[in-house]
Amino acid sequence: MTQGHRDKLEAVCAEFSELLSEAVTEESVRALAAKYLSKKGPLSEVMKSMKDLSGDERKSVGQAFNKAKGQIDTEVAAKLQSFAEEKRKAYLNRWIDVTVPGRQQATGALHLLTQVQKECVDIFRGLGFGMATGPQIETDFHSFEALAIPKNHPARDMQDTFYLGDEMVLRPHTSPVQIRTMQSQEPPIAIIAPGVVYRRDDDPTHSPMFMQIEGLWVDKVVRFSDLKGVLWHFVNTFFGKSLEIRFRPSYFPFVEPGAEVDMQCSFCDGAGCGVCKGTGWVEIGGAGMVDPAVFANVNVDSEAWTGFAFGMGIERMAMLKYGVNDIKYYYEGDLRFLRQFS
C-alpha cells in the first residue's frame, strides 16, 4: 500500500518535471507550481487515501510527501534562477552604440510677444502704473458706446469688428479696459492694460488677432505734456537709446485732443530707411486727453479730474525692436523663428 503511494508521488513529481521543462516564462512556471502544490493539486490528491494507512505507514508516506514537495520547490527555484540568469546575460551582452547622439531636451521659453509685452508693462510699472485686464469677449457698451463711439458713428468703420450678436463683440482694441477700470475704481487711476484684440484684417502687417497695450492716467492735474513725457520715457527705455517722439493731430472719439504718436525710426535712428519709408519716423500708436464725454459715461467729474490715454500695438513694438518684418511669424509657431528669441 505505502509503496503504491510512494510510486504515485514519484509519478506526480516526474510529470511535474516534464511540464516544468517545457515552461518558458516565469508566469507559466509559477502557475504550474501553484497548481501542483495547491490543496486540491495532484500531490494532495495522493495523500487523501492516507487515512486508511497504519501509523508507521502514514509516517513513511508523509515523509515521501514532504520530500516530493521539497523536490518541486527546488526544481521551481532552479528554473526561476535560470530565467534570471538568462536575463542578466542578455543584459550584459546587449549591444550599445555609444556613438548614437543623446536625446535632446528642448527648453521652453516665453514667446517673443509675451516677452515684449512684459518689457512694456515693466517700464510703465516703473512709473507707477498698475496692471489691469478685461475680457476679450466684450460688450458693445464697453467697446464703443462708453468710449463715445455711438452706433452709426463713422468712427466704427475705423475698426472692422467681429460681432457676436448685437450686443457682444470680440474687442477690437484694449480701450474698453479704460472703461472697466473707471467703473470699478475711483480716481486717481494709473493703469496699463496689455491684451489680445481682434479685427477683420489679414495682410503682411495685419493679423485678425493681435496685441495692444493700453494706458490710462486719471488724476487732479494730468497734462498733455505728461502724456508726451511718459511715452518719451517709454520709447527711450524700451529701445535703450535716445529717440525722439512726435505727436500728429488725429481723431479718436474718446480723446480730445487726440494724436497719432510717432517715434524716430529705431532702425536708422531717424536718418531714413526702408522700414520708415525714408521719413525717419514710424507710427507706434494713438493717444490723447480723455474726452469729458467718456468721463461722463463712467460718472467721473470732468471738472475735478483730468486724464490721458494711449494705445500701442505690441507686434509693432516687437517688429521695431527685433526686426520681424512679417506679422505672420509671430503666430505660425515655427520653432526656427521662436528659438531666435529664447
Binding site for ligand DAH (CB under 6 A): 173, 175, 214, 252, 255, 258, 286-288, 309-311
Which backbone phi and psi does 274 adopt, to 5 degrees? -65, -40
CB of residue 219 to ligand DAH, shortest distance in Å: 16
For residue 81, give the C-alpha cell.
534562477
Cβ-based nearer residue to ligand DAH, 87 or 246: 246
Cβ-based nearer residue to ligand DAH, 210 or 238: 210
> 298 with 183: CB under 8 angstroms?
yes
Q: If 0-12 CB within 10 Å is exposed, 13-18 middle and 19+ buried, where does residue 240 land?
A: exposed
CB of residue 114 to ligand DAH, shortest distance in Å: 20
Cβ-based nearer residue to ligand DAH, 134 or 258: 258
Cβ-based nearer residue to ligand DAH, 194 or 258: 258
Distance CA 249, CA 258 (A): 6
> 235 with 243: CB under 8 angstroms?
yes
Cβ-based nearer residue to ligand DAH, 83 or 162: 162
Q: If 0-12 CB within 10 Å is exposed, 13-18 middle and 19+ buried, where does residue 30 land?
A: middle
Cβ-based nearer residue to ligand DAH, 57 or 145: 145
CB of residue 311 to ligand DAH, shortest distance in Å: 3
CB of residue 252 to ligand DAH, shortest distance in Å: 4
CA dihedral over 110, 115, 117, 122, signed as positive or negative: positive
CB of residue 164 to ligand DAH, shortest distance in Å: 19
CB of residue 273 to ligand DAH, shortest distance in Å: 25
CB of residue 147 to ligand DAH, shortest distance in Å: 8
Cβ-based nearer residue to ligand DAH, 72 or 289: 289
